[in-house]
């Protein structure tokens, strides 16, 4: 029943699109006031998608196995929370969520853009409707979440246990808010280009949307990373896996856009650049969807393999790309060349330089991600590109990037001279000495690591100093840059000081290393509704006499029947200790992995700070209005 209602409201939602397009076109040349019907229908469309989405949620909650999505991804013994989160934990449901956010955002856009020119609002709406119609057709045609099974099976196939996790339950919605937010930027950029409305007012207006989607995208990536950290049991937080890369690429484009919009808002330069970035951000989000959903990528965790769906997204994606190329080339006017001049030593230059660096990082990741696809098509050679590639190409260029980030905000617009030169230099020396002191006794590449740590420390100190002396012109910017320096520092120290023991132990055995002894005490069993757990008990005796007890689990889920390792992690401010165990096919040895990961919590925390900076920026703007 719920499925049926869901399906029909989805169809009606698609019809709404045509009505909206019709009324908008009608309204476009005739009147100076926005036709009220357009707003109503936009709301109606949003409402219908909400109904459809709730229909799917209810089918999941009541385990209605006549619905094939529910059947394939749910099970009666699953806890209620995961029944609900299972709604978007699969291909069909997650697309419905995309659509939900798409319609929500365009409705919000109409509400909050009242001060903007009416033609711009209508055109943005029209471009957004093109995307919305595309998604409606995609869902209804190739991945209908409400398809019917007869006869109804008694039991569902269950949700993949590694997806049964709180972080992953909220990860997709947050990430989609970021992805889809970029669709508004895309539509609005195209509309502004067509109407030749790329101006300071436009920058001011679109900046909010950039900030909103940037914050959500940042948080979404953070959640995914946290999930990978404790659920996949590898103890890392970033693997340069294609699926992760496709979420990082829009983030880089969006971050670049954010800085670009800031310049545009103040100085009305870099207009073409801003438009290109707006288009690129959404295009990258869409390509991400294409790469993940089509199965064309050979990733360790791809979603579903279905070439037919892939083909649809591919054609849709490239239609959008060609549409935007067309609009950009034929409507965009590169005006006001005279205003274009600025001195090389200014805030603009610093931002521009970092823009270029971010574009470089973006291209490295893009090439690393799609090169295997190209090679396989052209030479049918199968390869994968690993972390060394990215580390080698990205790490060295972080140095000038960080330095520019530290100095840039201190400069003025147009033309600048460095104030407090002595002060800035002093901090550089302090950072250098401090990092030499930290790195000196370690058996790693001294030069690169020292300079890297120095530049990160430098940014850290400079931003910290601004907090301390309360001389903050731009709190949000300072906070985000501070967070970024903290992030880089934590990642560096995490890499440098991590240690890891992998060994096979029988119950009762112990493993001795220089700093600690791992005693494998015992195993226990526990029965839950949807899984059985084998709980190991490990005592870690450190040389300073302290003892930690860790209890990693091995979970055997009943539907689908899959074994997962649950890591046991003890966190404090300085380090995480992380242990996983695994049983290898009826052998008496357990495969034990024990890791000491310094500063893990600071990695999460610093990303929160970064996005918090964005949040402050939004509220500040609201305040100004």
- The correct pick among 28, 360, 497, 612 for binding another protein (CB under 8 A) is 360
How many whole angstroms separate alpha carbon 478 and alpha carbon 60?
A: 45
CB of 340 to another protein, least distance (A): 10
- Smaller CB distance to another protein: residue 315 or 418? 315
Residues 49-78 that bind another protein (CB under 8 A): 68, 71-72
Residues 380-419 that bind another protein (CB under 8 A): 380-386, 388-389, 392-393
- Smaller CB distance to another protein: residue 151 or 545? 151
- Smaller CB distance to another protein: residue 10 or 228? 228
The residues, any chain, with a CB within 8 Å of residue 374's CB and separated by 6 or more, are none
- Smaller CB distance to another protein: residue 474 or 503? 503
* Structure tokens given for 615: 């949040």
CB of 287 to another protein, least distance (A): 9
Q: Which stretch binds another protein (CB under 8 A): 29-37, 80-88, 296-304, 603-611?
A: 296-304
Residues 571-610 that bind another protein (CB under 8 A): 580, 582, 584-585, 587-589, 591, 593
CB of 585 to another protein, least distance (A): 5
The residues, any chain, with a CB within 8 Å of residue 188's CB and separated by 6 or more, are 109, 120, 124, 127, 202, 205, 206, 209, 278
Taking residue 470's Cβ as centre, other Cβ atoms within 10 Å add up to: 6
Strands 553-557 and 547-550: unpaired
Strands 531-542 and 516-527: antiparallel
Residues 178-237 that bind another protein (CB under 8 A): 232-234
- The correct pick among 22, 81, 356, 437 for binding another protein (CB under 8 A) is 356
- Smaller CB distance to another protein: residue 29 or 344? 344
- Smaller CB distance to another protein: residue 14 or 279? 279
How many whole angstroms separate alpha carbon 373 and alpha carbon 385?
A: 11
Element (H or E) spanning 455, and its range?
A: helix 446-468
Q: Do 236 and 229 contact (CB within 8 A), yes or no?
A: yes
SS3 126: helix
Which of 244, 247, 278, 281 minimizes the C-alpha distance to 261?
Answer: 278
Burial label for 177, CB within 10 Å (0-12, 13-18, 19+), is buried
CB of 580 to another protein, least distance (A): 7
Residues 498-517 that bind another protein (CB under 8 A): 502-505, 509
| H helical segments located in 86-165 | 91-112, 118-142
Residues pairing with 590 in the sheet = 505, 583
Residues 230-269 that bind another protein (CB under 8 A): 232-234
Which of 186, 168, 149, 282 minimizes the C-alpha distance to 223?
Answer: 168
Residues 310-349 that bind another protein (CB under 8 A): 310-311, 314, 318, 321-322, 325, 329
Q: Which stretch binds another protein (CB under 8 A): 3-11, 290-298, 405-413, 534-542?
A: 290-298
How many whole angstroms separate alpha carbon 592 and alpha carbon 571?
A: 19
- The correct pick among 510, 561, 570, 608 for binding another protein (CB under 8 A) is 561
- The correct pick among 208, 302, 349, 495 for binding another protein (CB under 8 A) is 302
- Smaller CB distance to another protein: residue 315 or 608? 315
Residues 531-560 that bind another protein (CB under 8 A): 560
Interaction of residue 307 with another protein, rule CB under 8 A: yes
C-alpha atoms less than 13 angstroms from C-alpha of 301 in its C-beta half-sphere: 16
CB of 69 to another protein, least distance (A): 10
CB of 157 to another protein, least distance (A): 5
Q: Do 595 and 578 contact (CB within 8 A), yes or no?
A: yes
CB of 355 to another protein, least distance (A): 12
Which of 440, 266, 470, 462 minimizes the C-alpha distance to 348?
Answer: 266
How many whole angstroms separate alpha carbon 576 and alpha carbon 498?
A: 10
Residues 7-36 that bind another protein (CB under 8 A): none
How many residues belong to the chain? 625
- The correct pick among 119, 204, 266, 301 for binding another protein (CB under 8 A) is 301
Residues 93-152 that bind another protein (CB under 8 A): 149, 151
Q: Which stretch binds another protein (CB under 8 A): 244-252, 369-377, 452-460, 484-492?
A: 369-377
């Amino acid at each position: 029943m719920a499925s049926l209602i869901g399906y029909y409201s989805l169809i009606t939602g698609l019809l709404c699109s045509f009505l909206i397009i019709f009324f908008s076109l009608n309204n476009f040349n005739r009147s100076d006031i926005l036709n009220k019907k357009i707003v109503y229908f936009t709301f109606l469309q949003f409402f219908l998608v909400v109904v459809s989405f709730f229909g799917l949620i209810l089918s999941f909650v009541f385990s209605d196995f006549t619905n094939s999505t529910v059947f394939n991804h749910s099970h009666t013994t699953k806890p209620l929370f995961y029944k609900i989160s299972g709604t978007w934990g699969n291909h069909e449901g997650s697309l419905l969520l995309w659509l939900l956010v798409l319609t929500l955002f365009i409705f919000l856009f109409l509400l909050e853009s009242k001060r903007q020119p009416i033609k711009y609002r209508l055109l943005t709406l029209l471009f957004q409707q093109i995307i919305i119609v595309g998604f409606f057709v995609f869902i209804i045609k190739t991945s209908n979440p409400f398809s019917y099974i007869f006869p109804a099976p008694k039991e569902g196939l269950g949700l993949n246990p590694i997806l049964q996790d709180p972080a992953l339950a909220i990860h997709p919605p947050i990430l989609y808010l970021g992805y889809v937010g970029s669709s508004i930027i895309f539509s609005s950029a195209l509309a502004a280009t067509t109407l030749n409305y790329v101006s300071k007012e436009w920058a001011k207006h679109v900046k909010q949307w950039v900030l909103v989607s940037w914050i959500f995208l940042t948080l979404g990536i953070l959640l995914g990373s946290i999930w990978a950290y404790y659920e996949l049991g590898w103890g890392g937080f970033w693997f340069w896996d294609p699926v992760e890369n496709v979420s990082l690429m829009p983030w880089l484009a969006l971050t670049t856009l954010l800085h670009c919009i800031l310049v545009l808002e103040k100085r009305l330069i870099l207009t073409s650049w801003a438009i290109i970035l707006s288009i690129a951000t959404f295009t990258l989000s869409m390509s991400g969807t294409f790469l993940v959903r089509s199965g064309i990528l050979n990733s360790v965790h791809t979603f579903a393999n279905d070439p037919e769906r892939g083909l649809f997204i591919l054609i849709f994606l490239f239609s959008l790309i060609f549409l935007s190329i067309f609009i950009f080339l034929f409507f965009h006017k590169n005006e006001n060349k005279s205003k274009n001049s600025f001195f090389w030593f200014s805030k603009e230059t610093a931002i521009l330089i970092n823009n270029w660096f971010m574009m470089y990082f973006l291209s490295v990741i893009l090439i690393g991600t799609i090169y295997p696809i190209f090679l396989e098509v052209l030479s049918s050679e199968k390869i994968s590109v690993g972390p060394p590639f990215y580390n080698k190409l990205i790490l060295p260029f972080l140095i000038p990037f960080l330095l520019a980030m530290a100095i840039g905000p201190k400069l003025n617009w147009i033309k600048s001279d460095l104030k407090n030169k002595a002060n800035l230099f002093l901090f550089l020396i302090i950072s250098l000495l401090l990092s030499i002191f930290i790195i000196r006794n370690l058996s790693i590449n001294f030069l690169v690591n020292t300079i890297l740590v120095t530049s990160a420390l430098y940014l850290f100190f400079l931003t910290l100093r601004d907090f301390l002396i309360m001389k903050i012109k731009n709190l949000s910017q300072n906070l985000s840059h501070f967070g970024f320096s903290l992030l880089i520092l934590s990642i560096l120290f995490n890499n440098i000081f991590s240690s890891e023991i992998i060994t096979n132990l029988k119950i009762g055995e112990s493993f001795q290393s220089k700093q600690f002894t791992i005693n494998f005490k015992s195993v226990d069993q526990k029965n839950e509704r949807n899984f059985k757990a084998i709980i190991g008990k490990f005592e870690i005796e450190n040389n300073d006499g302290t003892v930690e007890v860790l209890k990693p689990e091995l979970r055997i889920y009943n539907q689908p029947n899959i074994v997962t390792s649950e890591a046991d992690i003890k966190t404090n401010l300085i380090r995480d200790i992380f242990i996983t165990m695994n049983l290898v096919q009826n052998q008496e040895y357990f495969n034990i992995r024990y890791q000491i990961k310094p500063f893990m919590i600071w990695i999460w925390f610093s990303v929160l700070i970064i996005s918090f900076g964005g949040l402050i920026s939004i509220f500040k703007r609201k305040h100004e209005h």
